[in-house]
Amino acid sequence: MIKTAVVILNWNGEAMLRQFLPSVIASSCEEGTVVYVADNASTDGSCAVVEKEFPSVHLIRLDKNYGFAEGYNRALQQVEAEYVVLLNSDVEVTEGWLRDMVAYMDTHPDTAACQPKILSYRHRNMFEYAGASGGFMDRYGYPFCRGRVFDVVEEDRGQYDEVIPVFWATGAALMIRQEVYQKVGGLDGRFFAHMEEIDLCWRLRSQGFQLVCIPSSKVYHVGGATLKKENPRKTFLNFRNNLLMLYKNLPEEELASVMRVRTFLDYCAALVWLLKGDWANVKAVCEARKEFHRLRPQFAADRRQNLANTVLNTIPERWGFSLIWQAKIKGRNTYSALFKIFH
């Protein structure tokens, strides 16, 4: 069996493949490592680029665009490896980036998944929004990271170089045990894209698995290559999927109260966009909530199954405060500032 499979999901990313695949191939030379590109039925020249310019890369052709979540589920069914790495197509990796993650996973069998330190491709001394140095979540479902709280992104000065448990590891560069991935059902394909890795990580943590960030491994992520920040489609997916994730995973005693607060907070967000004259994002929030209520009955069985499988009801990396209150009102907009208050 292959030790590590690096799997890049691609859709019409011909230019990004040419730009970033060379670093992945050159820096993933460890014995037992194979690089795959899983193509979501691209209509550009992506497949031809892989076959002609990168013959060492294994190409998986999917029959249609399944999105991020289901695309990976279907691709990983065709991969046999101890560890699989879900790697975005807009990531530049560094020499030896896999080595420390594999070594940690080999020596910590209770750890299901890990991520490297994620830095910005364009501003290389800064953390990158989508993952930074490991992810956490507040009581109401708002994710944040060591190095990024809402839109405040910190400079990397080595302040978050310790290996620590995290609540979620970014889907931009996620190493996970293939056996565990399949056991817990993989990513939820109904999410299509956004929040699906946090939902997966919540299931992993609630079942007692550990998740960590390995900062000695680092990569550089462009970010926003598929949907730009505050794109209404991205807003819709983030709000809808976040609500679905909460419904699937919240302990029974928290569900009603958290959902009431989220209703209020979601409409506050819509009001902020309204005051900015951004009608498209106001509509996206409202449509997301409407779609959540329409889809919720379809996730009832998933919720029952998740709660039945739970062995860790209180997860330490899910902090019991409101991130909006602490960051937006109190001004504690870095992980370090939050940590000083609550630990």
- Quickly state the pLDDT bin for 313 (edges 50, 70, 90): confident
What residue type is assigned to position 313 of the chain?
N
Distance from the Cα of residue 76 to its chain's centroid: 16
**C-beta of residue 293 within 8 angstroms of C-beta of residue 259:** no
- Non-local (6+) Cβ contacts of 332 within 8 A are 326, 338, 341
> Does 318 map to a domain?
no
Mean pLDDT of 254-258: 98
Q: 146 pLDDT exceeds 50?
A: yes
Q: What is the DSSP string of 53-68?
A: H-TTSEEEE-SS--HH
**Separation CA 173–CA 90 (nearest Å):** 10
**Separation CA 7–CA 36 (nearest Å):** 5
What confidence score (pLDDT) does residue 57 get? 97
DSSP-based three-state secondary structure for 23: helix
Q: 85 pLDDT exceeds 90?
A: yes
Mean pLDDT of 307-321: 95
Domain span at 139: 2-221
> Does 244 map to a domain?
no
What confidence score (pLDDT) does residue 317 get? 97
**Separation CA 172–CA 149 (nearest Å):** 17
- Quickly state the pLDDT bin for 343 (edges 50, 70, 90): confident
What confidence score (pLDDT) does residue 225 get? 43
- Quickly state the pLDDT bin for 226 (edges 50, 70, 90): very low
> Are β-strands 152-153 and 164-165 bridged in parallel, bridged antiparallel, or unpaired?
unpaired
Q: 66 pLDDT exceeds 50?
A: yes
Q: What is the DSSP letter of 312?
A: -
Count the neighbouring beta carbons within 10 Å of the beta carbon of residue 331: 9
> Does 327 map to a domain?
no
> Does 9 map to a domain?
yes
Mean pLDDT of 35-47: 96
Pull the structure tokens for residue 179: 């056996």
- Quickly state the pLDDT bin for 177 (edges 50, 70, 90): very high
**Separation CA 267–CA 335 (nearest Å):** 26
What confidence score (pLDDT) does residue 224 get? 60
- Non-local (6+) Cβ contacts of 286 within 8 A are 270
Letter string b/e over residues 101-135, b meaning 16 or more CB atoms within 10 A of that residue's CB: bbebbeeeeebbbbbbbbbbbeeeebbbbbbbbbb
**Separation CA 132–CA 125 (nearest Å):** 12
> Does 296 map to a domain?
no
> Does 74 map to a domain?
yes
**C-beta of residue 244 within 8 angstroms of C-beta of residue 236:** no
What confidence score (pLDDT) does residue 29 get? 86
**C-beta of residue 114 within 8 angstroms of C-beta of residue 214:** yes
Pull the structure tokens for residue 23: 């670093």
> Does 302 map to a domain?
no
Closest among 172, 110, 121, 106 to 145, alpha carbons compared: 172
> Does 211 map to a domain?
yes
What confidence score (pLDDT) does residue 223 get? 82
The CATH number given to whatever domain includes residue 185 is 3.90.550.10
- Quickly state the pLDDT bin for 65 (edges 50, 70, 90): very high
What confidence score (pLDDT) does residue 227 get? 43
Q: Which of 73-87, 117-131, 212-226 has the lowest mean pLDDT?
A: 212-226
Split into its structural domains, the chain has a count of 1
What confidence score (pLDDT) does residue 229 get? 56
Q: 143 pLDDT exceeds 90?
A: yes
Closest among 132, 123, 198, 199 to 164, alpha carbons compared: 132
**C-beta of residue 199 within 8 angstroms of C-beta of residue 248:** yes
Letter string b/e over residues 223-262, b meaning 16 or more CB atoms within 10 A of that residue's CB: bebbeeeebbebbbbbbbbbbbbbbbbbeeeeeeebbeeb
Q: Which of 28-37, 133-142, 201-210 has the lowest mean pLDDT?
A: 28-37
pLDDT tens, 273-300? Answer: 999 999 999 999 999 999 999 999 999 9
Q: Which residues pair with 220 in a beta bridge?
A: 92, 119
Q: 30 pLDDT exceeds 90?
A: no
